[in-house]
Structure 1
Amino acid sequence: MAKIKIIQTGSPIRRDKTQRATLVGLGLNKMRKSIEVEDTPEVRGQVRKVAHLVSVETAA
């Protein structure tokens, strides 16, 4: 499967607990931290939930 790179661009301060938990579930906890994960429907759903806090790129 393809991989995507997710970069945290927004702060979880003053956000819902569920949005914070989603960031932690993705492996993000600090600004500008990035991860590479498999592009699955589950991950896409998590990204959609916190779309205002992350940016997504295709991994090379």
Structure 2
Amino acid sequence: MADKLKVTLVKSPIGAIPKHKKTIEALGLKKLNKSVELPNNKAVQGMVFQVKHLVKVEEI
């Protein structure tokens, strides 16, 4: 299991429900096609799972 995840915003959260918009913001994603590196833990995995239709995830 990798120790970091690279999360990239690939779809706009404009039409998403407010909870998903807040989750995207909490992950540190602000603009389309921008990426952040996050630790691979249960909290981050849960947040990514909630918005999996808006992001692309890669293990680093």
**TM-score (normalised: structure 1):** 0.93
Equivalent pairs, count? 59
Q: What is the RMSD of the two structures over their aligned residues, measured on CA atoms?
A: 1.0
> Structure 1 runs of 4+ off > 6 angstroms?
none
Match of 2:34 in 1: 33
**TM-score (normalised: structure 2):** 0.93
- For 1:23 and 1:40, locate their aligned partners in 2 and report how far apart those are by CA, in whole Å: 17
Cα deviation digits, residues 19-45 of structure 1 (max 9, x gap): 000000000011001000100000000
| Gaps in structure 1 of 5+ consecutive residues | none
- For 2:49 and 2:8, locate their aligned partners in 1 and report how far apart those are by CA, in whole Å: 13
| Gaps in structure 2 of 5+ consecutive residues | none
